[in-house]
Amino acid sequence: MLQRIQTIYLLIAALVSGGLIFVLPLWTSAEGTEVFAKDDVWILAGFMASAVLSVITIFNFKNRQTQFVLGRLNIILNFILLGVFVYQSLTLSGEAAASEKGIGLLVPVFSIVFLALANKAIKKDEALVKSVDRLR
């Protein structure tokens, strides 16, 4: 059913992963130019994969177990993106390549929070269906 709360959480996660990356800068270079996710192909591909996976998870509402697994995979993908950002911010310190970290580095964190809330709601629905099946 598309009118469940996990659909809202997954939609917000898709919008955060697919939309905010074009608005929020990841960091500011030493020259003063803002670097966005669209400037690096691999980071852009990771964010777009996360957004597409969230949309696929929304429309897989008939199979809650698959929906839960896709949510977990999306969380892992966002942790990988977060790890890449942490690695870049630790190895490129000072004025070398990333002089100022942007708010865009927190986009995977927001996405992880909404995906975890969606998985919690999916698990709750699965428990409800199993409890109703026991009563039959």
CA distance 10 to 61: 11
Return the pLDDT at 96. Answer: 53
pTM of the predicted model as reported, rounded to 2 decimal places: 0.87
Task: Please give the radius of gyration of the chain, using alpha carbons only, rounded to the nearest integer.
Answer: 18
CA distance 119 to 60: 13
**135 located within any domain:** no
DSSP assignment letter at 93: -
- Number of domains the chain contains: 1
Return the pLDDT at 85. Answer: 87
**133 located within any domain:** no
pLDDT averaged over consecutive 10-residue blocks of the chain (136 residues)?
A: 85 93 82 82 93 94 92 96 86 58 87 96 89 74
> Which residue's entry shows tokens 């199993």?
130
**80 located within any domain:** yes
**134 located within any domain:** no
Taking a C-beta distance cutoff of 8 angstroms, is the pair 77, 115 a contact? no
- Residue 100: what are its φ and ψ, rounded to 5°? -140, 125
Which structural domain, as residue segments, surrounds residue 17? 5-128
CA distance 95 to 120: 42
**87 located within any domain:** yes
**51 located within any domain:** yes
